């Protein structure tokens, strides 16, 4: 199957998927499409995304799915030079109030690495659209980094799962 983009996804986009589908059956069908995208190397996410899904959706379908596909990812990491690049352009993406590693910085870093390898067919899939008091949102950072951004519905369409989305 041809996908519209190679996507680097954050936890926000995965956590938004259940609300886009009419019931768990439709969600599972959409996740099957996304699984194929992961297996083909066209959907990736840093390890911290899986950790965030565990933190915010333990026991839910999304958490079970992300655990299952985590080992199927073609790409799990990025070179640390990319993180330095991201933070030099978007220092506001780093949440200085959080001592833990920054998931959004990792997503942007992986997207920068992918863009350098694959060109314009790369998009960041996120629903992190509003700045927080302690950091800029990922959408704003992607604009500064000149990265394409798609939302959860666009990710579903990209994966070939538009028929599983709500019509309202």
72 vs 2, more confident? 72
d(CA 93, CA 30): 30
pLDDT beyond 60 at 93: yes
Q: How does residue 2 score in pLDDT terms, banded at 50, 70 and 90?
A: low
d(CA 100, CA 102): 6
Check residue 163 and give its pLDDT. 94
Pick the CATH number of 6-164 from 3.40.50.1010, 3.40.50.2300, 1.10.20.10, 1.10.287.130: 3.40.50.1010
Average pLDDT over residues 8-23: 95
- Cβ neighbors of 95 (< 8 A, separation 6 or more) are 102, 132, 134, 135
């Amino acid at each position: 199957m041809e996908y519209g983009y190679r996507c680097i996804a954050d936890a926000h986009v995965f956590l938004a998927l259940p609300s886009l589908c009419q019931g768990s059956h439709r969600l599972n069908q959409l996740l099957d499409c996304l699984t194929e995208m992961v297996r083909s190397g066209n959907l990736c996410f840093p390890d911290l995304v899986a950790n965030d899904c565990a933190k915010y959706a333990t026991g839910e379908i999304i958490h079970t799915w992300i655990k299952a596909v985590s080992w199927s990812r073609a790409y799990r990491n990025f070179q640390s030079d990319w993180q330095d690049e991201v933070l030099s352009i978007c220092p506001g993406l780093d949440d200085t109030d959080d001592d833990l590693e920054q998931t959004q910085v990792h997503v942007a870093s992986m997207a920068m690495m992918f863009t350098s390898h694959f060109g314009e067919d790369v998009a960041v899939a996120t629903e992190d659209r509003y700045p927080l008091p302690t950091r800029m949102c990922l959408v704003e950072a992607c604009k500064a980094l000149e990265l394409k951004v798609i939302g959860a519905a666009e990710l579903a369409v990209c994966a070939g799962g538009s028929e599983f989305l709500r019509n309202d």
